[in-house]
Amino acid sequence: MSPSEHQDNNQCSSWWRSFFDSPDCLVLGQFPDATTSRWEAGKIADLVGLQPGMVVADAPCGSGRHLPTWVARGCFVVGLDASPMMLELARRVVAGLKGRALLVQGLMQALPFAGETFDVMLNLFNSFGYLATDEENARVLTEAARCLRRGGRLLIDTRNPPMEILFAPYRDEVKLPGGRRLQASASYSRETKRLSVCWRDLKEDRLVHWVSIRLYNVGELSAMLEAARLEVEAVFGSLEGEKFSSAHSKMIVLARRP
């Protein structure tokens, strides 16, 4: 069954629930190692101007791999994720942080926090665009705006659509622990602007995982942020702060609540 057929079956809205509760995602998602994660977290802190005493939300936080770096910079951090498996991994990461980190199960489009709680909110590792409709994805931004204090910043680390489409795994094989082999294939719908990737078990000839992500270009995302009453301050092409261009694979948008 093709990714487009899965969209027809209306699975767009829920793929992330099963995918991120499967240990397979730790390989298929290509999560960076601890050294890279510390480097990323430090660069993110520099881009948002993180200062000691700030309250920071990482939503979704995944395995919590960035949280210790921000705690070490004197911040109180909150990690939110919908996945019980990811939160269990995050608990191991924050176990020694002495109460400076809180983990919460919840949805980024319906944050369980009071308004004006955070100085910084983060949406990282290409986590924007998971939801089924533009309206649902826009709620991620309005919820972030609601929970930011005045002057607070939101940073979105996402994909640059043309480059993501160009380098998608249109036919690739992945070997999982235990020897299972999966074949990845990708397709992009110009109508829905969604990139879909499915993985099939080669031995059993069956679909085992599928993801679908709405790719937003810089103009679309900027307009959505403006509609959420957030001001775009900068758009970067890398975590090192390079000015964004069409040749960058990343699109990192920094916005501020006025």
Q: How far apart are CA 202 and CA 23, in angstroms?
A: 18
Residue 151: alpha-carbon gap to chain centroid = 23
Q: pLDDT at residue 1 above 50? A: no
Residues 36 and 19 in one domain: no
Residues 142 and 70 in one domain: yes
The dihedral over CA atoms of 244, 215, 82, 227, expressed in degrees to the nearest 10, equals 70
For the chain, give the percent of residues with pLDDT over 90.
89
Q: Residues 245-257: pLDDT tens digits?
A: 999 999 999 999 9
Residues 201 and 170 in one domain: yes
Q: What is the DSSP string of 233-244?
A: EEEESSTT-PBP
CB 196 within 8 A of CB 6: yes
Bridge pairing between strands 148-159 and 172-175: unpaired
Q: Residues 40-60: pLDDT tens digits?
A: 999 999 999 999 999 999 999
Q: How far apart are CA 203 and CA 134, in angstroms?
A: 37
Mean pLDDT of the residues in the chain: 93
Residues 18 and 89 in one domain: no
What is residue 110's three-state secondary structure? Answer: strand
Structural domain harbouring 169: 3-26+163-213
Q: Residues 145-188: pLDDT tens digits?
A: 999 999 999 999 999 999 999 988 678 899 999 889 999 999 99
Q: What pLDDT, on a 0 to 100 scale, did the predictor assign at position 205? A: 92
What's the whole-model pTM score?
0.93
Count of domains for the chain: 2
